[in-house]
Amino acid sequence: MRLLILYGSQTGTAQDVAEQLWRSSKSYGFEGPVLPMDDYPVHKLVEESLVLFVVATTGDGDEPENMRNFWKFLLRRSLPTNSLENLQYACLGLGDSSYAKFNYAAKKLNKRLQQLGGKQIIPLGLCDDQHDHGFGAVSLPWMDQLWQEMEKRLGIRADCREASGKVFKWQCKVLNNTTIDYKDNDHIQWPHKDEAQKFTLLANERTTDPKHFQDVRLLQFESNNERWFPGDIFQVQPHNSEQQVDEFFSWVQEHQLDFGPDTVVEVTSNFVDMPLPKCFSKPLSLRQMATYLWDLSHRPRQRAFELLALQCEDELEKEKLMEFTTTEGLDSLISYINRPRRTILEVLQDFRQASSKLTLNVLIELFSFIQPRSFSIASCMDSSKLDLLVAVVEYKTKLSKPRLGLCSNWLKSLVVGKQIFGCIKMGTMKLPKDAETPIIMVGPGTGVAPFRSVIQSRHYQLKELPNKRDPLLVLYFGCRNKNKDYHFQHDLEFWSKEGILSLHCAFSRDQESKIYVQHLIEKNAEQLQHFILEQRAVILVAGSSKNMPKSVKEAFIKVLNGQEDLIEQMIKQKRYQEETWS
């Protein structure tokens, strides 16, 4: 029986969950592909009878990029309301409740499928990354309920519940007497649909004071005549550090496994319904995989422990590994992995008996791929340079070794003249087309990055306009100290003196009582009311999703004398937009 599984996500999480469903479906004898939504011809959905959807929400309640065309098709008014009357489906959403539009993409999809006649197998599942158990708190019981309902509806039974753990996507063949230069990065296929371009690094400078707790970098790349617009993003594919790669192969050597860095492998798919990733389209050395493909900093999910347990001969280790794969063992798994941010390499070192039995097939199945990272472009196209403002992630947990963000530390290590692969993509911010529409920007910390691009662009646009009026751009910037982490100070103060920017800075630690951007917003209520109510200003908010967006929104509601409905209306009209990250 055919079962189609589709996922929409900008990270690998939705794909992992979709593949977990796919492995379980094999126990019931189902056949059918697991695909990103943009790889499936959506017009054929009317021919499907059984589909599972896994959908993540991005940005300000937006559908992920690889779902956009799929979603646009489903929104066509020409589609009859009975288009999907033969479809039985289930939908699982992946979201974060710290965002206002929690799981909005999944909710929209679920509602639209019902409007077109689709019939739910079980209610929509809404996973929350803020839960102590992560997505598993909802996804695991949701999957159990799904298969129980499928058994009732279709009269099917699983041949063997344990069989799903032994379903391998890939088959590896060692190519003897073959060598590949692992530094030949051109040999690695860019794993995304958009064609990658090479960008040359021109500058890599720390912008924060050396005594400041955080290293923030301004990276400048040669633009190569690429086109972008304010609010667009730059997507890069990071690499593991040489230290991490060497650490991995030291572990391989220590366990005397029958493969090494120079082992060249050809990977094929074990199933016709499991497409082979582009990065496996050519043979690769294990050093290439460990450098460019595998995320050695990844926090492993339950599937990794399932794989480690397969050939483990030590009873105590196997028992613990299997505990981590159960719903009942989630508390233990969270304590072991999530709270200390333990990496897959550290797990391999902890479970030494299980690790010593790893085969090449299990190893390639074990690692998650490095996911692309996206950064707001901090310069406009007219500047002819592509700038990024990147906070380097480094922090401590109870483990002795500091936790390092893979991408930010990779970017930090780049030397001038280095070429990297990158791709410019359309951002989620919608800027007003009329250059005389005021823009109110709130960008604490590195959230100021996209607004530097906006201000630069407006600077060029406004050169021909009369200068005898209030600035059309308002920026609320916040940081800890004026002398330590005031990003783009020279640029912002220059634009302020030029009269095109109304600049308001909150330096939270420079006085006894802390001052944040929301306090300055409330303080400037009269000016903001004028812009919002009389000139239909657009409000853009960028930065951390933790507390800032909620506090800023409450401040604007106060500015508008408690008119929360007006803010909600502005959100619908895209006059109030948030671009935040956790």
* In contact, 392 and 408? CB cutoff 8 Å: yes
DSSP codes joined into one string, 128-162: ETTSTTTTHHHHHHHHHHHHHHHHHHH----S-GG
Report residue 562's pLDDT band, with 50, 70 and 90 as the boundaries.
Answer: very high
Residue 218 has pLDDT above 80, yes or no: yes
Is 359 known to sit in a ligand binding site? no
Domain positions in the chain: 4-164, 197-238+372-425, 241-366, 439-580
From the number of C-beta atoms within 10 Å of its C-beta (0-12, 13-18, 19+), residue 159 rates as exposed
Check whether 325 is labelled as a binding-site residue: no
Which of 515, 542, 365, 534 has its CA nearest to residue 441? Answer: 542
How far apart CA 491 and CA 477 sit, in angstroms, is: 13
Q: Would you state the pLDDT for residue 184?
A: 57
Measured CA to CA, the distance from residue 77 to residue 381 in angstroms comes to: 37
For range 200-217, the mean pLDDT: 96
12 among annotated binding-site residues: yes
Tell me the CATH number of domain 4-164, given options 3.40.50.360, 3.40.50.150, 1.10.10.10, 2.60.120.370.
3.40.50.360
Q: Which CATH superfamily is domain 241-366 in?
A: NADPH-cytochrome p450 Reductase; Chain A, domain 3 (1.20.990.10)
Question: Which residues have C-beta within 8 Å of that of residue 417, sequence separation ≥ 6?
Answer: 200, 201
pLDDT at site 467: 56
Residue 18 marked ligand-binding: no
User: Fold match between 197-238+372-425 and 241-366?
Assistant: no
pLDDT of residue 162: 45
Tell me the pLDDT tens digit for each residue of 261-291: 999 999 999 998 888 888 898 999 999 999 9
Here the tokens at position 212 are 């400041």
Average pLDDT of the residues in 293-307: 93
Per-residue pLDDT averaged across 74-97, rounded?
Answer: 95
Please say if the pLDDT value at position 459 is more than 50.
yes
Check residue 164 and give its pLDDT: 63
407 has binding-site annotation:
yes
pLDDT band at 501 (very low <50, low <70, confident <90, very high): very high
pLDDT in tens, 408-433: 999 999 999 999 989 999 888 889 98
Residue 17, pLDDT above cutoff 90: yes
Q: Are 233 and 377 in contact (CB under 8 A)?
A: yes
263 backbone dihedrals φ, ψ, rounded to 5°: -65, 125
Contact status, residue 396 vs residue 221, Cβ threshold 8 Å: no
What's the token pair of residue 284? 């690769």
Confidence of residue 464 (pLDDT cuts 50, 70, 90): low
What percent of the chain clears pLDDT 90, i.e. is strictly above it?
Answer: 75
CA pair distance 261, 263, nearest whole angstrom: 6
pLDDT per residue over 89-129, tens digit each? 999 999 988 887 899 999 999 999 999 999 999 999 999 98
* pLDDT for residue 383 is more than 90: no
Over range 528-555, report the average pLDDT: 94
- pLDDT at 134 (0 to 100): 86
Residue 518 predicted with pLDDT over 90: yes
Is 332 one of the annotated binding-site residues?
no
The reply to whether 25 sits in an annotated binding site is: no
403 is in an annotated binding site: no
Q: Is 91 annotated as a binding residue?
A: no
Fold of 439-580: Rossmann fold (3.40.50)
Window from 5-14, 96-105, 186-195, 261-270 with minimum mean pLDDT: 186-195
280 is in an annotated binding site: no
- Residue 7 among known ligand-binding residues: no
Does the domain formed by 197-238+372-425 have CATH 1.10.10.10? no
Poorest-pLDDT segment among 25-29, 70-74, 489-493: 25-29
**Residue 445 pLDDT > 90:** yes
Q: Binding site annotation covers 14? A: yes
Mean pLDDT to the nearest integer, 248-270: 92
Is 463 marked as binding a ligand?
Answer: no
Confidence of residue 196 (pLDDT cuts 50, 70, 90): confident
pLDDT of 461 over the 80 cut: no
What pLDDT score was predicted for residue 185? Answer: 59
Tell me, what's the pLDDT at 545?
80
pLDDT digits (tens, 9 = 90+) for 120-175: 999 999 999 888 888 989 999 999 999 999 999 998 887 754 456 678 999 999 99
Please tell me whether 57 is known to bind a ligand: yes
44-48, 186-190, 474-478, 494-498: least confident range: 186-190
pLDDT tens for 305-357 read 999 999 899 999 999 999 999 888 989 999 999 889 999 999 999 999 999 99
pLDDT for residue 446 is more than 90: yes
On average, the pLDDT of the chain sits at 91
Asked whether residue 406 is marked as a ligand-binding residue, the answer is: yes
